[in-house]
Amino acid sequence: MHDERLAGFSRERLDGRPLPEDLRVLLVAQWEGRTDLARLLDLDFFEPGEVHPLLDTSYLSETERADPELRAVNAGAAEMARHVRLVARGGKGWVGYWLHPDEPADRPWRLIALDTEFTFWGLAGSTLTEGAAAERASYQDEPDERVAFARLATELAALGLPLDTQDYDALDDTAYTVAPESLMEELIRAERVRRGLR
């Protein structure tokens, strides 16, 4: 029923890559108006045509868009967007996948968050659902995030979205092979050099 829409989301947000199963479930839930999963995970998935946050310059004035320094930053950010495949608003700003080609292909896609100050954050977990639940565990009434995560995992399982683990400490927290912050700086630096800026 939602196959065409899922395929469109994949093309627009993930360059046509197959959607992870939990992402499929979350998207269909949002499209069907189910708010239970969105409430638990604080995720709001992008609609067709929404601009990737790293490509959005609409908040800049014409003068700012013409500034050589900002043009170099925007060009570096546009290059970075090829690897930062954001799919939803949530957490500190936006969340998605870090799909740099140098990341190992034999493990699940690494998760990434981008905050409103354009700082990159790693998310623990091997699925978007795990990463969002781990993030949300810090904001629950329960002061122990391990207990909060286990409760969220139980609620998600009851809604048909089981996690691979209910143990917060067992979440995959492997470091990136290519650090997003460093790459962003490198891309902006290369753009500055290309444009003759010092």
Name 90's bridge partners: 43, 93
**Interval 89-132: pLDDT, tens:** 998 899 999 999 999 999 899 999 999 888 999 999 999 999 99
Residue 180 has pLDDT above 90, yes or no: yes
**Interval 4-28: pLDDT, tens:** 999 999 999 999 999 999 999 999 9
Residue 143: predicted pLDDT: 83
Helix, strand or coil for residue 120? strand
Instruction: Indicate the angle between helix axes 128-137 and 21-31, nearest 10 degrees.
Output: 70
Residue 1 has pLDDT above 80, yes or no: no
Residues 6 or more apart whose CB falls under 8 angstroms from that of 123 comprise 91, 95, 111, 112, 113, 131, 132, 134, 135
**Interval 144-170: pLDDT, tens:** 999 999 999 999 999 999 999 999 999
8 A C-beta contact, residue 166 and residue 158:
no
Rounded Cα gap, residues 182 and 185, in angstroms: 5
Residue 148: predicted pLDDT: 93
Residue 91: predicted pLDDT: 81
**Interval 34-56: pLDDT, tens:** 999 998 999 999 999 999 999 99
Name 33's bridge partners: none
